[in-house]
Amino acid sequence: MSPGGVTEIVYFYLAEYSDAQREGAGGGVEDEDIDVLEIPFSQAMAMVKNGEIRDGKTVILLQQLQLRNIMG
């Protein structure tokens, strides 16, 4: 585990949006280096199960959404 991984604080935001609200392919600021991947929740959970998604923060987020039945 890297020192940054132990001390970092991460905030996740969940919100609905429409195509009309998109600013661009990334996060909305021209010089940001953000890759946006939109997939159905069920596919994301399958990716956790088969090991395609291994990032701990992402796994915890998806599991919490499932446990709390937030994604239906």
What would the mean pLDDT of 22-50 be, rounded to a whole number?
81
CA atoms within 13 A on the CB side of 48: 18
Residue 57, pLDDT > 70, answer yes
CA atoms within 13 A on the CB side of 57: 8
Longest CA pairwise span in the chain (Å): 40
Instruction: With cut-offs at 50, 70 and 90, classify the pLDDT of residue 6.
Output: confident
Please report, for the chain, the start and end positions of each structural domain, with discontinuous segments joined by +.
3-67
Residues 6+ apart with CB under 8 A from 19: none
Residue 26, pLDDT > 70, answer no
Structure tokens at 29: 């600021």
What's the rounded Cα separation, in Å, for the pair 1 and 56?
A: 11
